[in-house]
Amino acid sequence: MAKDTKTHYVCNECGGQTSKWQGQCPHCLAWNTLGESLAEAKPRRFAGLADNTGVQRLTEVQAREVERIATGLPEYDRVLGGGLVEGGVVLLGGDPGIGKSTLLLQALAHLAGSLKTLYVSGEESADQIALRARRLGVEKADIPLLTEIRLEAILSHLRDERPRVAVIDSIQTIYTEQLQSAPGSVAQVRECAQTLTRQAKQTGVCLILVGHVTKEGTLAGPRVLEHIVDTVLYFEGDTGSSFRLIRAFKNRFGAVNELGVFAMTDKGLKGVANPSALFLTRDERDVPGSCVVVAQEGTRPLLVEIQALVDSTQTPNPRRLSVGLDTNRLAMLLAVLHRHGGIACYDQDVFINAVGGVRITEPAADLAVLTAVVSSIRDKPLPHKLAVFGEVGLAGEIRPVQRGQERLKEAAKLGFNRILCPRANLPRQSPPGVEVKGVGTLGEALDYLRGLG
């Protein structure tokens, strides 16, 4: 370690600092969260993160439109907010084997034709990458390849070669000689990401950092990395299905929660341009406990089948389990169903599944979840062409959701002829051939469902 650099310890939960290592962070009292880090005494460490221009008036600052670099993968551009941004740093996280390296190699292969790129691999040998390139049919693309894990070497390469777009695969394998801790430790990951980000801001290179997800589903050194970079994207969906979703969790240059949808084929990832019906793999039989929700992920409506199974419980504590939806919210909805709908589940196990490995984060799925639960309890299938959306409040009211018109339109486009939605989302004119039922309370919704037979 260099003589003039001091280390201290930083909590990766709250960012608090101590001068010596302790088992417990003295600031937030979390255990085992302190990691070694370089002392931040030298001001030059922060040079370049933002221009130092003194006080300016906001009205006098000329906001430039950021220039976008299209990656040739429209679905990837969509989650990025329109493409890569000069000097922007993107963190792409996901489970091992989900397709991070594949996606980035495809993007670089497209970009290599028009601008200078660099692929830094700390995980795979050049042979392995060449093999993947051949499999993707892009082996002719002129992509400079660097197999390197020393940060200093990567930086000097970036300075000399001046690529416009560079991929670091992965940030956990990179280490700096200035710190003693092992590659992949929080201190190393944070220091390397910070230094690379500074370099990106100074030179204008678009940087894409690949990050591994730990067993708990978060990036190693998660909080610290998310603060450093401009954009955080995660791969989601299960590796068992051939569909891969990329969600934007943070984006300084675009909308969050935007979703990119891909299919993994034998020739790499292919964008799915019109995914709204992707998760509607229903069989033609009418089965109880299945309900279609019109969800809205990012700027796009998405129709997803929600399945519920309600079964009498064998244990003193009935189980509430949900896949793709929030389990706490499910418990809350069941309480509302009991209190305001008079339907009790305290002696029943309740299982909920959003089909296709998609994760629905918005409350607009509430009404569909309850509709599926009620259908399973009564053992009565819902009409095949019924779609549902709406938020359920604790007082049993059905609350409006945003972009109601778009949801209605999308459901109508896909051939749904009955739509149950919040009253406040009722359109002035229903789409032709569609019966739209607006409800204000859970009681009204249950009456409507009863009337369906």
Q: How many residues bind ligand TYD (CB under 6 A)?
A: 15
Q: Is 298 left (phi over 0), alpha (psi -120 to 50) or beta?
A: left
Nearest approach, Cβ of residue 208 and Mg ion (Å):
12
The interface region with ligand TYD, picked from 24-32, 90-98, 298-306, 372-380 by CB under 6 A, is 90-98
Least separation in angstroms between residue 212's CB and Mg ion is 9
Considering only residues 127 through 146, tell me which ones interact with ligand TYD, judged by CB under 6 A: 132, 135-136
Query: Following CA atoms 309, 311, 313, 317 in sequence, which dihedral angle do they give, to the nearest 10 degrees?
Result: 30
Q: How many residues bind Mg ion, per CB under 5 A?
A: 1
Residue 195 vs residues 20, 34, 48, 222, 268: alpha-carbon distances, Å: 24, 20, 10, 17, 32
Identity of the residue, 101 or 195, whose beta carbon is nearer to ligand TYD in the bound complex: 101
Between residues 211 and 301, which has the closer beta carbon with respect to Mg ion? Answer: 211
Selected binder of ligand TYD within 15, 26, 74, 96 (CB under 6 A): 96
CB of 124 to ligand TYD, least distance (A): 8
| Contact between residue 340 and residue 443 where contact means Cβ atoms under 8 Å apart | yes
Q: Is the dihedral of CA 271, 274, 279, 283 positive or negative?
A: negative
Structure tokens at 446: 């249950």
Mark the segment that binds Mg ion (CB under 5 A) among 53-61, 101-109, 311-319, 330-338: 101-109
From the CB of 122, what's the least distance to ligand TYD, in Å? 12
Should residue 102 be labelled a site residue for Mg ion when binding is judged by CB under 5 A?
no
Considering the complex, state which of residue 101 and residue 199 has its C-beta at the smaller distance from Mg ion: 101
Distance of CA 135 to the CA centre of its chain: 27
- Of 7, 33, 37, 102, the one binding ligand TYD (CB under 6 A) is 102
CA-derived radius of gyration, the chain = 25
Minimum CB distance to ligand TYD, residue 191 (Å): 23
Read off the amino acid at residue 265: T
Q: Which does 211 bind (CB under 5 to 8 A by kind): Mg ion, ligand TYD, none?
A: none
How many CB atoms neighbour CB 266 within 10 A? 6
Q: Is 195 one of the binding residues for ligand TYD (CB under 6 A)? A: no
Shortest separation between residue 134's beta carbon and Mg ion, angstroms = 16
Task: Give min distance, CB of 101 to ligand TYD, in A.
Answer: 3
CA distance 184 to 174: 7
Considering beta carbons, is residue 96 or 342 the nearer one to ligand TYD?
Answer: 96
What Cα–Cα distance (Å) separates residue 272 from each residue in 44, 75, 277? 45, 7, 11
Q: Which parts of 236-295 interact with ligand TYD (CB under 6 A)? A: 264, 266-268
Concatenate the DSSP letters of all residues of 271-302 into one string. E-S-GGGTB----SS--TTEEEEEEEETTEEE
Q: Choose among ligand TYD, Mg ion, none what residue 334 binds, the Cβ cut-off being 5 to 8 Å by kind.
A: none
AA identity, residue 181:
S
Least distance (Å) between residue 116 CB and Mg ion: 22
**Taking a C-beta distance cutoff of 8 angstroms, is the pair 291, 305 a contact?**
yes
Contacts of 328 (CB under 8 A, 6+ apart): none
Interface segment toward ligand TYD; rule CB under 6 A; list 95-103, 107-115, 171-179, 325-333 = 95-103
By CB under 6 A, is residue 93 in contact with ligand TYD?
no
Beta-carbon contacts of 402 under 8 Å, excluding residues fewer than 6 positions away, are: 296
Q: Which residues contribute to the site for ligand TYD (CB under 6 A)?
A: 94, 96-102, 132, 135-136, 264, 266-268
Q: Which residues contribute to the site for Mg ion (CB under 5 A)?
A: 101
